[in-house]
Amino acid sequence: MVDLVREGALALITLNRPEALNALSFAIIREIGAAIDEAAGWDIRALIFTGAGEKAFCAGADIKELIGRNLMEERAGAELGQQVFAKLDTFKVPSIAAINGYAFGGGLELATACTFRIASPKAKMGLPEIKLGLIPGYGGTQRLPRLIGEARALDMILTGRTVSAEEALAIGLVHRLAEGDVREAAKALAAEFTGYGLPALAFARAAVQRSMDTPIAQGLRIEADLSTLAYRTEDAAEGLAAFVEKRKPLFQDR
């Protein structure tokens, strides 16, 4: 149900249940967690998520599986999804959601847990849980406002409406639209940062992430700490020297 493959510096995780539009059963969520853990042991520079088939990235939590579960199981289910998606916050390299089609509910929540989102122009996105009498449970109420602001997040979550790829780009829900194949576009996006040093990438991500939940005075202290750590790396010495010597830097992740 979840395919994990390595292509050079990239790990690709494909949700592979096209007959159910790659819906997130609890088994699939566990498989996603295991795939992330396995990829963490690889020498990779980016992690790409996509959905099998042309129709869907992921149509959200498996609605059929949710029917009849008791409250305790459901709470455990929400916590499972939250814990698995939270692995991406601290994953050692940036992650990219290549949104090839529908990304609804838990599918959009997975995408919003990724560092980058790149969408096919035909992709459609939304948090339609309200139409089921539910609310998002895999991080949507917390990550979406941080990404697109409270007003737009409330608009999406309280109406459950579908957002086109163009609107998603305009409101900052996705970073880019793919001109051709979205998976190839995700690889091309990865190539834009995979040559940089891992310490600087990690420090930059951590500093920006903290801006979302930290008063600015404290955030500026975190930035000062992390930029100092970056400055002390061998990569920084290499990057600065390469600029002055008018050559391409060779970063060693140190």
Catalytic residue status for 7: no
Of the residues 128, 139, 199, 249, which one makes contact with ligand CO8 according to CB under 6 A: 128
The residue from 65, 109, 166, 245 that is catalytic is 109
Which of positions 86-105 make contact with ligand CO8 (CB under 6 A)?
Answer: 102, 104-105
* 21 touching ligand CO8, by CB under 6 A: yes
Are 45 and 12 contacting, i.e. CB atoms less than 8 angstroms apart? Answer: no
> Quick one: tokens of 62?
């498996």
- The answer to whether 23 contacts ligand CO8 (rule: CB under 6 A) is yes
Cβ atoms of 50 and 7 within 8 Å: the answer is: no
109 is annotated as an active-site residue: yes
11, 12, 20, 111: residue in contact with ligand CO8 (rule CB under 6 A)? 20
Half-sphere exposure in the Cβ direction for 92 (13 Å, CA): 16
Cα distance between residue 200 and residue 90, in whole Å = 14
For the chain, the maximum distance between any two Cα atoms, rounded to a whole number of angstroms, is 66
Per CB under 6 A, does 139 bind ligand CO8?
no
β-strands 95-99, 46-51 pairing: parallel
The amino acid that residue 187 corresponds to is: K
Strand order in the sheet with 163-164: 56-58, 102-104, 124-126, 163-164
With CB atoms as reference, the residue minimizing the distance to ligand CO8 is 105
* Candidate list 7, 79, 129, 234, residue with the active-site label: 129
| Binding track over 51-80 against ligand CO8, x by CB under 6 A | --------xxxxxx---------x--xx--
Tokens 């576009």 -> residue: 185
Q: Does 174 bind ligand CO8 (CB under 6 A)?
A: no
Positions touching ligand CO8 (CB under 6 A) are 20-21, 23, 59-64, 74, 77-78, 102, 104-106, 128-129, 132, 134, 136-137
Catalytic sites, residue numbers:
109, 129
